[in-house]
């Protein structure tokens, strides 16, 4: 029995070596992929920081809206003049938001249509309000119905996932920032494909005060890369020890 098993035993290190080499190549490729993702994420964060802190630029012309892509405008700081529609709004549920300096609590982003002089419209995220201020009558807002000049950050539509609840347009309640879908439900003319997060500003108690943008993009790619490279190094060490033990035995 010992002699019959010898050929397989002698060949096993080569089989293990090929397998280890394949796994090593996969781990290293995953590590380098995370390095590429790190460079992409750092460039994205730098672009976001530059755009959000730049002086307000004019809103893109409506003629350009159909050709705009989210990367063209997301987080761009703009200024726009229009009239805040006092009769229509949408509520986007947020599981946690802050009112003033208070602790996080569930509530809504208030999305109000800004009607422009050329007949187009832009949804404006006025800011966060708690659940208790859901009804318009519970939150004073002197800007509603007025012609105003607002500054803020252009934002791309939010992605949905399998855990996102179904929107309820009939009740004006939403779970994702989808400007075109919300605009269609509100019957807005020539709607923009983006929304505008209004800059923070002084507001009466209970009213939305802007500043809803969370400029915080997770960037864990360096630790992910370290994990993959670490596993590759561990594999080399374990396989080297395995070969060393076989040669000694």
Structure confidence at residue 241 (pLDDT): 82
CA 41 from chain centre, in angstroms, equals 12
Determine the Cα–Cα distance for residues 108 and 65; give it in Å rounded to an integer.
27
Residue 204: predicted pLDDT = 75
pLDDT given for residue 12 in this prediction: 57
Q: What six digits make up the tokens of 143? A: 């800007």
| pLDDT for position 105 | 77
CA–centroid distance for 39 within its chain: 18
Residue 8's pLDDT is: 42
Could you write out the DSSP letters of every residue in 104-170?
A: -EEEEEEEEEEE-TTS-EEEEEEEEEEGGG-SGGGS--TTTTSEEEEEEEEEPPPPP-TTSPPPBGG
Q: How far apart are CA 222 and CA 150, in angstroms?
A: 38
Q: What is the pLDDT of residue 5?
A: 47
pLDDT number for residue 159: 86
- Dihedral (C-alpha) 165, 166, 170, 176: value to the nearest 10 degrees? 70
pLDDT at 102: 56
Count how many residues are written for the chain.
249
Which residues in the chain show pLDDT less than 50? 1-2, 5-9, 11
Rg of the chain (C-alpha set): 27
Q: What is the pTM of this model?
A: 0.74
């Amino acid at each position: 029995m010992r002699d019959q098993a010898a050929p397989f035993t002698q060949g096993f290190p080569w089989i293990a070596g090929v397998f280890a080499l394949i796994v090593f190549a996969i781990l290293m490729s995953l590590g380098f992929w995370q390095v590429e993702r790190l460079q992409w994420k750092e460039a994205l964060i730098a672009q976001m920081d530059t755009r959000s802190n730049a002086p307000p630029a004019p809103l893109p012309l409506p003629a350009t809206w159909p050709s705009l892509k989210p990367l063209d405008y997301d987080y761009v700081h703009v200024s726009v003049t229009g009239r805040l529609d006092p009769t229509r709004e949408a509520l986007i549920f947020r599981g946690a938001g802050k009112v003033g300096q208070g602790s996080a609590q569930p509530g809504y982003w208030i999305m109000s249509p800004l009607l422009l002089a050329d007949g187009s419209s832009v949804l404006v995220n006025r800011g966060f309000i708690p659940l208790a201020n859901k009804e318009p009558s519970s939150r004073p807002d002197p800007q509603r119905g007025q012609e105003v000049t607002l500054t803020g950050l252009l934002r791309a539509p939010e992605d949905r996932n399998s855990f996102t609840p179904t929107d309820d347009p009939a009740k004006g309640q939403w779970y994702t920032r989808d400007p075109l879908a919300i605009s269609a439900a509100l019957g807005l003319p020539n709607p923009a494909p983006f929304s505008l997060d209004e800059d923070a500003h002084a507001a009466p108690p209970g009213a939305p005060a802007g500043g809803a943008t969370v400029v915080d993009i997770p960037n864990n790619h360096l630790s992910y890369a370290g994990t993959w490279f670490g596993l590759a190094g561990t594999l080399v060490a374990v396989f080297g020890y395995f070969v060393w033990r076989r040669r000694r035995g």
